[in-house]
Amino acid sequence: MSYSKGLFVTLEGGEGSGKTTLALKMKETLEKEGFEVVLTREPGGVKVAEDIRGVIMSGEMDATTQAFLFAAARREHLVKKVIPALERGAIVICDRFVHSSLVYQGVVGGLGVKKVFAINEQAIDGKMPDLTLYMDIKPEDGLSRIQADAGREVNHFDQKPLSYHEKIREGYQLIPTFYPEHPYVTIDASQAPNTVYQDAMKVMADLIKKELAS
């Protein structure tokens, strides 16, 4: 099953919010229902973007430099993977997108949300998600999950102090006030994983129903 323009769904949240686990479960369910699903991530998803990811994750750098690197990786990922999948009618589930830059570099990095969005405007060229699911969890709970997950890729963002992660949560909660027209749904990620999954799939089912009716 496919759509003429595809569906672009992004997952956002702080460290340890369960985005990756949820994305995998959503993909499995939607594929069983007959949809083509492309699961991807940012920064990354294609070779050049993965190379840029390695640079970004290697250590500290200026916030503006970081914002431009994320935007470059985002552009490459969009044109090489996301847009082709959408054009053939697939559902694309992406672990992070432009909202991460707005929060991490715009709010926490101090550049300002509007400045970071301006940096990204040419990169995304108007391609915003049909739906963003924000996985909300207390930072201390998310960090505890990271410490308990021996197989997780740990980066320098994970090792920041609690106050840094608290600012990230505040940033994500602010985003809808900047872009109220964008479908942005908050999911309580502190719940049991299956409950989180059910909540997310209900929102997803509503989106699919709406798109099929249009």
13 among annotated binding-site residues: yes
166 among annotated binding-site residues: no
DSSP 43-75: S-SSHHHHHHHHHHTTS---HHHHHHHHHHHHH
Q: Is 86 exposed, middle or buried (0-12, 13-18, 19+ CB in 10 A)?
A: buried
The C-alpha torsion from 44 through 41 and 83 to 74, rounded to 10°, is -50
106 among annotated binding-site residues: no
Query: Residue 182 corresponds to which amino acid?
Result: H
C-alpha separations of 206 from 80, 82, 158, 200, 210 in Å: 29, 22, 33, 10, 6
112 among annotated binding-site residues: no
Residue located via tokens 């990811």: 53
CB 137 within 8 A of CB 17: yes
18 among annotated binding-site residues: yes
15 among annotated binding-site residues: yes
Known binding site for ATP: residues? 13-20
Residues at the annotated binding site?
13-20
